[in-house]
Chain A
Amino acid sequence: MIDWDVVIGLEIHAELLTDSKIFCGCSTVFGGVPNSQVCPVCMGLPGALPVLNSRAVDLAIKAGLALKCTINEFSKFDRKHYFYPDLPKAYQVSQDDLPICGNGVVEISFEGSPRSIGIERVHMEEEAGKSIHAGESIMSSAYSLLDYNRAGIPLIEIVTKPDIRSPEEARLFLEKLKTLLEYTEVSDCKMEEGSLRCDANISLKPKGTDAFGVKAEIKNLNSFRAVQRALEFEVRRQKEILENQGTIVPETRHWDEAKGMTFSMRTKVDAADYRYMPDPNLYPVRLDAAKIETIKNSLPELPDAKCKRFIDEYGLPAYDGEVLTGSRALADYFEKCVQEVGDAKLVSNWVMGEILRWLNAHNMQIEDSPVGPADLAKLVKLVQGAEVSNIIAKDVLEEMFVSGKSAEQIIDEQGLRQVSDAGELEKMIDKVLEDHPDPVNDVKSGKLQAVGFLVGQVMKASKGTANPKKVNEIIRARLLD
């Protein structure tokens, strides 16, 4: 039995968050009426010419900087020719041998240890349109419909080095990449809208050897989970072939989410020749160091730096730092709340616990949270000030999510304010001690665990509003002195 090294490389396409397309002024808004966001340029009408959107270049540079790439001061656009009706000009404007960014790295943490995943290159290109076939495929259809709204939306393609060593690591890498692209507002990374797509290359080699095995490329990966599952399937499939003295065929395979399997689409033997050629309509992109520096200075604090700062500045555990910096919106939420409350660990517990739990259960993002950071801060401050007990505060938060009311209003309406007034508490305690003579005797005879029972009875009688700490103190003082 041989052990195998798994070698994975990913190719990720991300749509850039520009208002207009890469070579024309058409809108990039998702979901418009088919062919309502088109013009002679993105329809590829003869004689129309592309004019490069400088905002798209800026975003590609931003992405490169976030991925710690070298930004090339000279890059050019090439035509990649292939035949498909949704490609209006019959070539895609892309970057072949001189991409805008090269040689970067993304740091992830895998099973508690840091890992560096190399980035081979980041290049710019244009999105194709969308074909809707009347039948199964273009060849078997009576007709196909074409929507060019997407045609010409700016994309970056990010190609990793073959540095990923397991399907799970691939998923973690993608999560980190998404975080980086979202932080820098380069892309909204919505896989369901196709603004982030991923293809994976995978091969196996006997553990410790240098030569790479024959790889398969996997397409149709519609979620990070799908990437991991497809790669896990592929590891099993390739292992089985190799261990039975078979040979892996270089091919493109299609992931079938429902069946949980990959299927061969085409072999690489008859791979397309794209006949790359510099696009004569577009002059090369020349960037100066000053421009790159300006963009570098405009970058927000990136997740790794933010996480470190959260740990150093707020004294949070590393785990909290990682979770809270998982998205820029979450980190901002946390920090806004801390500004009001002061106690970072207390806020962290609330955000990572109650807030995320409720949002996950309702399939919502932090950006959409009905309870904003200021709302949460008010509630946490009430807990801090012993105005409301920790347990009741959790119920109050639930009510805040549902009704949209403020913490104060819910507490007042439902009489949930914590009772800490000694006189009021004494009255309740008197009654409980009178009603439970046996536990009282137990305490007096040294069985201190009965204190808990008595406190519980007071809490029950007060419907949770009694301050448990104070109740505990008073009972102990009364019975043990």
Chain B
Amino acid sequence: MQLTEKPIHYLRELLHSGEITAKQLVTSVFERIDEVDAQVGAYITLNKEEAFKAAERADEMLKQGDARDLLGIPIAVKDNISTKGLRTTCASKVLENYVPAFDATAVAKLKEAGAIIIGKTNLDEFGLGSSTENSMYKATRNPWDLSRVPGGSSGGSAAAVAAGAACGALGSDTGGSVRQPAAFCGIVGLKPTYGLVSRYGLIPAAPSMDHIGPMTHDVRDAAILLQTIAGPDGQDPTSGRMQPENYEAALTEDIKSLVVGMPAELIEEVEDAEVKEALFGMANVLESLGATVRKVSLPHSKFAVACFYLLAACEVSSSLASLDGVRLGSRVFEAEDTVTMFSKTRGLMGKEAKRRILVGTAALSGQYRKTHYERAQKLRTLIKTDLAEALDECCVLLLPTAPSAAFPLGHKVDDPVAMYQSDVFTSVANLAGIPALSLPCGYTKEGLPLGVQILGRPFDEVSVLKVGHAFEQGCSMAARRPKLEVGTSD
């Protein structure tokens, strides 16, 4: 295993003991990027110069005995999270030249903790998609099989971590965008409780369901990143008052007599035998560790995807309205009149973004506001209640992360509804705002990773991480990394 493929907590020891320097680590990461990123395509923008400066500063502090968790650790950031002075495109041509004047709170907290921002990772334009194929720059490829998608929309972050081109990453999750690519790329992805991590600086898709979350090699790393970026933020009115806990310290506890729920209606939807096997395999491991596994019912969960896409489209149509090249964003100047200018500028946006804007605009207009938007809002409340009741009986719930392992590039691009079904198991957590962790729990016969989600009570990240960690320790599965043919093009 390469140095850059090691987990953060392992690298932390090496840095603190002086066995390696931050500069060496950053050098290794950029070397790895040079080796693999032409094939993988994880990054849109690299932050090389600043990263080396930060590494020098980190090494100074390490020498002085500074032992912060993330000091000198190279982290990648999804390109819809604002980075001061570093171009933030959302993988859109509309924001091709947008350089934020401020850091997202999560980024500022990473920097304060001594982490080094390596670069900005690819995504579906504005986070709208499940395969990263909707990027207006390039497709990202799955390091486990370059003919397959890495998932999305945080596909660049997932692929970067899986390929050892970053030691950890921030992603964003509106309907599964951290968890599904984490599952496809064989890493851990956490969508925290809504309000635990500030959204300030996250360029919005659907603000009521957008979350920033860590993407890492293992659960311990996710805990470390989470405790760095979590906490109240005066700049985000939806951020909770909850102080972050020491999530890493909580990982030592066992899970005896903890109740794990298996949502029946959603599990019935699982068609892929390997996915089912991985899910029940995990349930068996947890049971063997002393947990009680039982069935629970989420009666409205079968409507979750429809409810999610409708509400998300409405919010997206509002969020993206200002990026019209007049107030914000690139403008097409070659136009005979104002109206043509508006229209040509809007032409810079990709198909999926336009589709969501149109659907959302329609669903908020005239009588559709009542028949569609408001009904979906009511449904959201019912789904939330279902989850609250299930989580009253159980401490955590288990669900597959995605209906299948990573699918081939181009497979679903012309069938948006099939693409939307990728979120069938993930979107419930966004609708309800509850924490959900995806972690690797097996591999297909072809050797592609599969993920399972652990969902928990609001602000109970401790249980979610604890269960994930217990599984990691208790399963007989060794940590695997993709085998990339270095230096060859596909």
Which A residues have a C-beta under 8 Å from some C-beta of B? 40, 44-52, 79, 81, 83, 85, 88-91, 138-139, 273, 275-277, 280-283
Residues on A with beta carbons closer than 8 Å to the beta carbon of B366: 273
Q: Does B321 contact A (CB under 8 A)?
A: yes
> Which residues of A are found within 8 Å of B234, using beta-carbon distances?
51
The answer to whether A79 and B200 have CB atoms under 8 Å apart is: no
- Pick the contact of B238: A88, A139, A281 (CB < 8 A): A281
Complex CA gap A298/B396 in Å reads 50
When A44-B328, A46-B204 are in contact, do A275 and B237 touch as well, CB less than 8 Å? no
Residue-wise, chain B 328-341 has the 8 Å CB interface mask toward A (1 for contact) of 10000000011100
Closest Cβ of chain A: how far from B65's Cβ, in Å? Answer: 36
9 A-B contact pairs sorted by A residue (CB < 8 Å): A40-B101, A90-B318, A90-B324, A138-B338, A276-B364, A277-B315, A277-B364, A277-B373, A281-B207
Task: Look across to chain B and name the residue whose beta carbon is closest to the beta carbon of A90.
Answer: B321
Given A276-B369, A283-B237, 16 more pairs with CB closer than 8 A? A46-B203, A47-B203, A47-B204, A48-B200, A49-B235, A81-B318, A88-B322, A89-B321, A90-B322, A91-B318, A139-B339, A275-B361, A277-B364, A280-B206, A280-B238, A282-B237
Residue of A nearest to B195 (CB): A283
B104, B314, B317, B364 interface centre (most CB from chain A within 10 Å): B364
Q: Which of B200, B317, B339 contacts A49 (CB 8 A)?
A: B200
Instruction: Report the separation of the CA atoms of residues A44 and B366 in the bound assembly, to the nearest whole angstrom.
Output: 26
- Do residues B321 and A91 form an inter-chain contact, with CB atoms below 8 A? yes
CB distance from B369 to the nearest CB of A (A): 7
Q: Does B303 contact A (CB under 8 A)?
A: no
- The closest CB in chain B to the CB of A86 belongs to B327
* Alpha-carbon distance A282/B237, docked complex (angstroms): 6
Smallest beta-carbon distance B117→chain A, Å: 16
Give every chain A residue within 8 A of B373 (Cβ-Cβ): 277
Q: Are B327 and A85 in contact (CB under 8 A)?
A: yes
Chain B interface size, as a band, is 35 or more
Partner of A46, one of B238, B318, B328, B369: B328
Q: How far is the CB of B471 from chain A (nearest CB, A)?
A: 34
Complex CA gap A87/B39 in Å reads: 43
Q: Is B47 an interface residue (CB 8 A)?
A: no
Contact B238 A283 (CB under 8 A): yes
Given the complex, which residues of B lie within 8 Å of A83, measured CB to CB?
321, 324
Alpha-carbon distance between A139 and B322 when the two chains are bound, in angstroms: 19
A49 near B236: Cβ-Cβ < 8 Å: yes
Given A85-B326, A275-B364 in contact, is the A47-B202 Cβ separation under 8 Å? yes
Say if the beta carbon of B214 comes within 8 Å of chain A. Answer: no
Q: Closest residue to A51 on the B side, CB-wise? A: B237
Q: A81 to B328, alpha carbons, bound, how many Å?
A: 16
Provided the pairs A277-B373, A281-B238 are in contact, do residues A45 and B200 lie with their beta carbons within 8 angstroms? no
Q: Which residues of B contact A91 (CB under 8 A)?
A: 318, 321
**Pair B104/A47 contact, Cβ less than 8 Å:** yes
Indicate whether B323 reaches chain A with its CB closer than 8 angstroms: yes
B interface, CB within 8 angstroms of A: 81-82, 90, 95, 98, 100-102, 104, 199-204, 206-208, 234-238, 314-315, 317-318, 321-324, 326-328, 337-339, 361, 364-366, 369, 373
Expressed in whole angstroms, the Cα–Cα distance for A47 and B106 within the complex equals 12
A89-B322 CB under 8 A given contacts A47-B204, A275-B369: yes
- Closest Cβ of chain B to A141, distance in Å, is 8
Cross-chain contact A273 with B199 (CB below 8 angstroms):
no
A342 to B98, CA, bound (A): 69
Say whether A273 contacts B324, CB under 8 Å: no
Query: Is B364 touching A280 in the complex (CB atoms < 8 A)?
Result: no
Distance of A35 from chain B, by nearest CB (Å): 13
By beta carbon, the residue of chain A nearest B200 is A49
Q: CB within 8 A of B321: which of A45, A52, A81, A276?
A: A81
Instruction: From A47, A85, A276, name the one whose CB has the most chain B CB atoms within 10 angstroms.
Output: A47
* Complex contacts, B104 vs chain A, CB 8 Å: 47
A464 CB to nearest B CB, Å: 70
Give chain B residues whose Cβ lies under 8 Å from the Cβ of A277: 314-315, 318, 364, 373
Most central of B207, B236, B321 by chain A CB within 10 Å: B321
Complex Cα distance, B317 from A90, in Å, reads 11
- Of A79, A81, A139, which contacts B338 at CB under 8 A? A139
Q: How far is the CA of A283 from the CA of B240 in the complex (A)?
A: 11
In the assembled complex, the Cα of A144 lies from the Cα of B104 at a distance in Å of 31
Complex CA distance for A46 and B104, rounded to whole angstroms: 11
Instruction: Output the nearest chain B residue to A129 by Cβ-Cβ distance.
Output: B327
CA distance A275 to B200 in the complex (A): 25
Once the chains are docked, how many angstroms separate the CA of A47 from the CA of B172?
A: 13
Write the nearest CB–CB distance from B120 to chain A, whole angstroms: 14
* A-B pairs, 5 with minimum CB distance: A280-B208, A90-B321, A275-B364, A90-B322, A280-B207
Q: Which residue of A lies closest to B324 (CB)?
A: A90
Chain A nearest Cβ from B336, distance in angstroms: 12
Give the CA-CA distance A345 to B373 in the complex, in Å.
Answer: 64
Complex Cα distance, B487 from A187, in Å, reads: 68
* Cβ distance B384 to chain A, nearest Cβ, rounded Å: 15
Query: Across the interface, do B100 and A45 meet the contact criterion of CB distance under 8 Å?
Result: yes
Nearest-neighbor residue (CB-CB) of B362 within chain A: A275
Bound CA–CA A30/B318 (angstroms): 30
A47 & B100 in contact (Cβ 8 Å cutoff): yes
Chain A residue with Cβ nearest B90: A46
In the complex, what residues of A have CB within 8 A of residue B235's CB? 49, 51
Contacts of A89 in B (CB 8 A): 321-322
Q: In the complex, which residues of chain A have a beta carbon less than 8 angstroms from the beta carbon of B208?
A: 280
Q: Kindly list chain B residues whose C-beta atoms are within 8 Å of the C-beta of A90.
A: 318, 321-322, 324, 327
Q: What's the minimum C-beta distance from B55 to chain A, rounded to whole angstroms? A: 27
Closest to B337 in A: A139
Q: Measured between C-beta atoms, what is the minimum distance from A369 to chain B in Å?
A: 44
Q: Contact at B207–A47, with CB atoms within 8 Å? A: no
> How far, in Å, is B89 (CB) from chain A's closest CB?
11
In whole angstroms, what is the CA distance A47 to B126 when docked?
A: 12
Q: Which residues of B contact A275 (CB under 8 A)?
A: 317-318, 361, 364-365, 369
Complex-state Cα separation, A218 to B326, whole angstroms? 29
